[in-house]
């Protein structure tokens, strides 16, 4: 009888050890380090790198890695099987393409942006006004029409063409002066900084403190400008859905919005 009691106690003890081990494993798994891969428009490079640092400080088990490129290139990469947890686009069109292809969950607008023209600090083209972009011999760089910023640029030129101050001839002359089309906005910034062209169409947020030492900006009036909409979404094939959604929510939070605003982005609510 005593042997049976000892056996029962031993069995209970062993069961407790097993349960404790399972609990320890579950606890360990819940805090296991993970890496979120975020595909983000090139214009988000500086702001998102800062956001990732802040987010990691608050969530030390989550590391954010980025793939920055033109939104059209990122969408194509995902369509071809590239692994991503979050997609942040610089336009609605490429997010819609990703959604139609079954690549992302519901998206939300998290930021807005607008266009400016930048010229090298030494201004070799003698450009002081938007109208100077139409002068013969001026070398202009812009993104390709398939790139969000390139498409926005064409929209802005369309608006100007409809104005009596600029006319369709202005748009035609500006496009005639385009000597290169890039696959992302950072490439436009780089060519202007290097003085390879006389002017380029970029986002306001691309005129960073560092860039301001090498380029000067010319404002495009709001009546001709285009407000760029930036949507963000968790991908459907992520292995870290909860963590990816938590990162998206941080972007939309007051802290995330404040960081974006510090880099020149217009907040999602337009304020």
Summarised one tens digit per residue, pLDDT across range 126-183 is: 999 999 999 999 999 999 999 999 999 999 999 999 999 999 999 999 999 999 999 9
Q: Taking CA 201 as the corner, what is the angle to CA 128 and CA 107, rounded to the nearest 5 degrees?
A: 145
Q: pLDDT band for position 32 (50/70/90)?
A: confident
Residue-wise pLDDT for 233-244, tens only, equals 999 999 999 999
Q: What is the rounded CA–CA span in Å between residue 180 and residue 150? A: 11
Q: For residue 26, what pLDDT is reported?
A: 36
What does each C-alpha distance from 261 to 2, 101, 125, 182 come to in angstroms?
74, 31, 32, 26
pLDDT at 11 over 90: no
Domain 34-113+228-267 falls under CATH 2.40.37.10: no
Q: What is the rounded CA–CA span in Å between residue 125 and residue 198? A: 5
Give the pairing of strands 115-120 and 266-267: unpaired
Q: Which two tokens stand for residue 101?
A: 């292809």
Residues 6+ apart with CB under 8 A from 94: 71, 72, 74, 75, 148
Residues in the chain: 271
Average pLDDT, the chain: 90
What does each C-alpha distance from 65 to 55, 68, 112, 180 come to in angstroms?
12, 10, 23, 30
Q: pLDDT band for position 267 (50/70/90)?
A: confident
Q: What is the rounded CA–CA span in Å between residue 159 and residue 225? A: 8
The CATH number of 115-219 is which of 3.40.190.10, 3.40.50.720, 3.40.640.10, 3.40.30.10?
3.40.190.10
Is residue 67 within 8 A of residue 77, CB to CB? The reply is yes
- What's the sign of the alpha-carbon dihedral 34, 90, 194, 260? negative
Region for 264 from its dihedrals, namely left if φ exceeds 0, alpha if ψ lies in -120 to 50, beta otherwise: left
Q: Which two tokens stand for residue 59?
A: 């969530």
Beta bridge partners of 41: 69
pLDDT at 48 over 50: yes
DSSP 8-state secondary structure symbol assigned to residue 233: E
The residues of the chain that CATH labels 3.40.190.10 are 34-113+228-267, 115-219
Q: For residue 119, what pLDDT is reported?
A: 98
């Amino acid at each position: 009888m005593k042997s049976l009691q000892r056996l029962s106690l031993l069995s209970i003890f062993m069961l407790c050890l097993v349960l404790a081990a399972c609990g320890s494993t579950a606890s360990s798994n819940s805090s296991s380090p993970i890496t979120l891969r975020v595909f983000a428009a090139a214009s988000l490079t500086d702001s998102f790198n800062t956001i990732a640092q802040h987010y990691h400080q608050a969530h030390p088990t989550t590391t954010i890695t980025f793939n920055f490129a033109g939104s059209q290139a990122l969408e194509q990469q995902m369509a071809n099987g590239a692994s991503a947890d979050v997609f942040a686009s610089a336009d609605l069109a490429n997010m819609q393409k990703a959604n139609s292809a079954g690549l992302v969950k519901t998206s939300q607008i998290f930021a807005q942006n607008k266009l400016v023209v930048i010229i090298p600090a030494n201004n070799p083209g003698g450009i002081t006004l938007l109208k100077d972009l139409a002068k013969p011999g001026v070398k202009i760089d812009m993104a390709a029409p398939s790139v969000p910023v390139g498409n926005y640029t064409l929209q802005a030129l369309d608006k100007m063409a409809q104005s009596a101050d600029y006319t369709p001839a202005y748009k035609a002359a500006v496009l005639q002066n385009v000597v290169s089309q890039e696959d992302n906005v950072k490439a436009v910034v780089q060519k202007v900084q290097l003085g390879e062209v006389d002017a380029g169409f970029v986002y306001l947020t691309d005129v960073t403190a560092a860039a301001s030492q090498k380029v000067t900006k010319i404002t495009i009036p709001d009546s001709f400008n285009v407000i760029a909409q930036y949507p963000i979404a968790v991908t459907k094939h992520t292995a870290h859905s909860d963590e990816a959604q938590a990162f998206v929510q941080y972007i939309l939070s007051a802290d995330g919005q404040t960081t974006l605003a510090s880099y020149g982005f217009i907040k999602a609510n337009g304020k």
